[in-house]
Structure 1
């Protein structure tokens, strides 16, 4: 009987040691699983939103580059402004963006008409009209309308001022 008691005690000690080993192994494994799950949840829920925005921005920039038309240099204009209180003049260099080469050729053929129309428009403006960014945008829109009216198919997409000076003489 003494031997049986010793064997039972040995088995109990081995059982306790086995449970301790199992606990020692399971705790780090569970911590790794929980940590990995938490990291994956963070990346999925929070980081994916931040990563999409730069990709959308790049897509929009590429789209804008693809839509750019053909540039046509119109020239430099110097005109007296319609101010009554002082003599002021404007010096502006204009580049137009047109749809394609066909529109560019047509605009080149009609350049005297285009330049006359722009000069006539500039003579009607005052320095107050052109003082603000909104005023400059209105001038661009008016130039686009006038030039598109001259061209049979229209086709002017935008106007760029590469030089813009208003001066009092």
Structure 2
């Protein structure tokens, strides 16, 4: 009888210790989680961005477009890769624009569609990261 009571007490103490340990582990993990996504600083964005020199080309409707771009990548290595691929970026921009008319680039929505298309095409090239955003730094159509 006495052994059964002693065994029961030992089991209860062990279960209590295990429960306390599990609760402590869960609480520590919950408090150590980062709150929300960590947005990059402007310095990190600039470091991971590539300036594309001004491009002038014809559109499908024989209008002319002149633009400069800044392309934000995921990290510095991706930016270095994209810098080496600027000639490919220019080629993709010219190809995309050659199929568009001036009306396709009008307004906010037209420019956003072009940016999204460009981002998709550029990400197909990338090996060291990916393109996060495409920004216009100048944009003129005639």
TM over 0.5: yes
User: 5 Å matches for 1:3-42?
Assistant: none
* DSSP-derived class of the 2:72 partner: strand
Distance 2:79 2:127 in 1: 12
* DSSP-derived class of the 1:104 partner: helix
Which structure ranks higher in relative contact order (CA pairs < 8 Å, sequence separation ≥ 6)? 2
Report the structure, 1 or 2, having the larger helix content.
1
Are the aligned partners of 1:72 and 1:97 in contact in 2 as well (CA < 8 Å)? yes
Alignment equivalent of 1:145, drawn from 120, 124, 131: 120
Structure 1 stretches lacking a partner, 5+ long: 1-59
Two-structure CA RMSD over aligned residues (Å): 2.0
Correspondence for 1:72: 50
Alignment equivalent of 2:135, drawn from 131, 154, 160: 160
Q: Normalising by the residue count of structure 2, what TM-score does the alignment of the two structures yield?
A: 0.66
Structure 2 stretches lacking a partner, 5+ long: 1-35
Q: Which aligned segments of 4 or more residues in structure 1 are displaced greater than 3 angstroms?
A: 63-68
Offset, 1:65: 5.3
Give the length in aligned residue pairs. 103
Q: Normalising by the residue count of structure 1, what TM-score does the alignment of the two structures yield?
A: 0.56
* DSSP-derived class of the 2:127 partner: coil
